Structures are given as structure tokens and as C-alpha cells.
Amino acid sequence: MTNDTVTANPAEARSEVTDVTDLVDAYVASWNESDAAVRTRLVEQAWAEQGRYLDPLLDLTGHEALATLAPVLEQHYPGHRIGRTGDVDQHHNVFRFTWELTGPDGAVVIAGVDVGVLADDGRISAIAGFFDQ
């Protein structure tokens, strides 16, 4: 997903994002986005308003908090990027996917799996992240 497909209006975003893979790709892109306005649009596109993200280090709820993920990542891992490493697996309203955090040299620093739940509006209501390495 490229940034030029992101919409500013959350209602429009919901109608444009029809596939869970698109949601996950917008979510992953938000981790890597340095532009705050674009990052906010990605969060609004991917997440329900009271979406909750948690992993062993973080527990965040709501669009404003979720938009802080990229700056936290950049602060702790300058120049690193998160990327999805496999297909998104889904059944019912539950999905999972694997990811890696890679450094500027391409070395994998952290890898893991995220498990998520879709809200009634089709966006992400919750993600729990697990670190594998």
C-alpha cells in the first residue's frame, strides 16, 4: 500500500479498505511513517476509534495513542523498519501475521507475530504482538 492511497476521511477509509491484508499493511506502514499527518491517516484507516495495541512493552488505546508507535520505534531503533514477512491468515474476525524489525543494514533485530481482532466496522479493534526473537 502506498501513501497516495490513504484518505483523510475515516469514513472514506473504511469503504476503501475491504481486505484484512490492506488493514494490516496500513497498520504496518503507520509504524514506519515519519510524517505525523500521514501516520494519523494510516491509523484512522486501519484502526477502530478505540482500537487497542499491546505487546510485552506497550499497551495503547485509541487513535491518538496508536499514532505514537512510530516515534517510539524511531527513538529506540533509529533507522529501523517493520515489515510483514508472510501472508495474513484470517478466520472469522480474527487474523495473524508475522513481521520483522530490520536495521539499516538489513539485519533482523526482532521478529514476531501479531494476532488481531476486527471490529464491527471492519477495522482493527485489537492487536496483541508477540516477540519471537
User: What are the pLDDT digits (tens) for 54-90?
Assistant: 999 999 999 999 999 999 999 999 999 999 999 999 9
Domain residue ranges of the chain, discontinuous segments joined by +: 3-131
Supply the CATH classification number for the domain 3-131. Answer: 3.10.450.50
Percentage of residues in the chain with pLDDT exceeding 90?
85
Report the 10 Å Cβ neighbour count for 15.
10
Stated pTM of the model: 0.83
Q: Where are the beta strands (DSSP E) in the chain?
A: 47-54, 59-61, 81-84, 89-91, 94-102, 108-118, 124-131
> How does DSSP classify residue 54?
E
**Phi, psi torsion values for 7, nearest 5 degrees:** -110, 155
Amino acid 18: pLDDT? 53
